[in-house]
Structure 1
Amino acid sequence: MLTIHAAELLLPGDREPVPGGAVLVDGDRIAMLGPYEDVAAAHPAARVRRWPGLLTPGLLNRHGTALLEHTYFPDDPFELDELGSEPITGAALADLAPGESRRGNSARRCTQKLLARGVVAVAARLTTPAVRTAVHRAGLEVVPEADAEGPAALDPLAGAEPADAFRAPLAVGAAARFAVFAVPDEAALAVRGAGACIATVIGGRMLHRRA
């Protein structure tokens, strides 16, 4: 089924923003993008999803190894009393010594947090099978690179401009991987950060939508 994702502002990532822009998704690929009126006129039978705010390329988190393999995300509420709600790293993680199954479950919780921030790919070198499985099932692309320097953050926009965090520009024929943010433009996105994400689409499938 053809689906048009229309937003108040479309930011393709390699060209000028398109006010009232839209992306046409055919299966797992982008079939057309441009002003909504043009896309809708060319494909009048397509289903339409309208989004407030800004539609952009999906984001790349450059701290995938640290977040997925060297951080433990407690299972809230089941581990809240024992471990608290904050991610566990460093010596505290060594003391916890989670087995592979718990690490896989932590990675699954981490992927959901990443999807909720518009992330479609992670730069990572993953060595734990359960972690790799969790990432694969979440639909995230793994870019086999070492983590970037600096503290790991779930938000790829922490300390980075949006354009530097885009995985790839939106283009006809490319994989349908994009995110929608409840902000009016790129400048506001840089201020608000990826926590403003309201939807994440990977391979044409909506893997996150804010209720």
Structure 2
Amino acid sequence: MLTLHTADLLVTGPGATPLPSGAVLVDGAGIVRVGPYEEIGAAAPHARVRRWPGVLTPGLLARGADVLLERTYYPDDPYEVTELGADPISGDGALAALKMTEARWGHSARRGTQKLLARGVVAVAGRFTVASVRTAVVRSGLTVVPPAPYEGEPSLDPLAGRESAGQAFHGVLEAGAPARFAVFAVADEAELLARGARTCVATVISGRLLHRRR
């Protein structure tokens, strides 16, 4: 089924000229066409239309995902928040006190991947050694890429520490490319970088809407 995603502003990749009222036409898991909404909408009148506020960009890449998902514990809300608090838990001592098991790591990783999807993440860089974590990542739909050197601490927000929003983009939006993108409730790339990935309102991977802000 054809789906036409359109937003106030479309950014197809790092350094690309923003396109007002741009659109991405998706068929299954791939992108068919990218361009002005009026033009693509006229060419595909039967496509389902999803209108989003803000800026539509390529999805984001989270660095250091092995640290985020295998060395950080995400308390189960609401069941553990009273005892553990809502913030992620890291550090050898704190994790040892939790008496982590592989099953518990898997549950935590599922909560972690949901947090990443809610920040427009479509791909993660890291090497996973815990089987239940690998399973959680694969089932989430996130693409796994090899780890690469980076500065600073890993963050759930891939825009943290970046000099431009484009540095966090994973891939470009063009005909024939996988349908992996995100929409952020901001006016432009500068505001996206300033406010961060928590402004995400939608994340699409392989043409599927895996996160939508309620």
TM over 0.5: yes
Structure 1 residues 60 and 22: alpha-carbon distance in aligned structure 2, compared to 1, 3 A threshold: same
- 2:105 aligned with 1:103: yes
User: What SS does structure 2 have at the residue aligned with 1:45?
Assistant: coil
User: What SS does structure 2 have at the residue aligned with 1:130?
Assistant: helix
- State which of 156, 159, 162 in structure 1 corresponds to 2:161: 159
Alignment-mate amino acid for residue 44 of structure 1: P
Q: Would you say the 8 A contact 2:106–2:133 is kept in 1? A: yes
Alpha-carbon distance in structure 1 between the residues aligned to 2:198 and 2:149: 21
In structure 1, stretches of 5+ residues that fail to align are: none
Match of 1:73 in 2: 74
Q: CA deviation at 1:148?
A: 2.9
Alpha-carbon distance in structure 2 between the residues aligned to 1:150 and 1:188: 22
Q: CA deviation at 1:147?
A: 6.2
Q: Would you say the 8 A contact 1:66–1:147 is kept in 2? A: no
- State which of 183, 187, 190 in structure 2 corresponds to 1:187: 190
Match of 1:11 in 2: 11
- 2:27 aligned with 1:26: yes
Alignment-mate amino acid for residue 99 of structure 2: A
User: What SS does structure 1 have at the residue aligned with 2:186?
Assistant: coil
Alignment-mate amino acid for residue 183 of structure 2: V
Structure 1 length normalisation: TM-score?
0.97
**Identical columns (%):** 63
Listed one character per residue, the Cα deviations across residues 43-83 of structure 1 (whole Å, up to 9, x for unaligned) are 11111111111000000001201101000001011111221
Alpha-carbon distance in structure 2 between the residues aligned to 1:150 and 1:92: 21
Q: CA deviation at 1:196?
A: 0.3
How is 1:1-211 mapped onto 2 (pairs within 5 angstroms)?
1-14=1-14, 15-90=16-91, 91-146=93-148, 148-160=150-162, 161-211=164-214
Q: Would you say the 8 A contact 2:152–2:161 is kept in 1? A: no
User: What SS does structure 2 have at the residue aligned with 1:180?
Assistant: strand
Q: CA deviation at 1:146?
A: 4.6
Alignment-mate amino acid for residue 13 of structure 2: G
Alpha-carbon distance in structure 2 between the residues aligned to 1:148 and 1:104: 26
Alpha-carbon distance in structure 1 between the residues aligned to 2:68 and 2:135: 15
Alpha-carbon distance in structure 2 between the residues aligned to 1:85 and 1:146: 30
User: What SS does structure 2 have at the residue aligned with 1:170?
Assistant: coil
Q: Would you say the 8 A contact 1:8–1:52 is kept in 2? A: yes
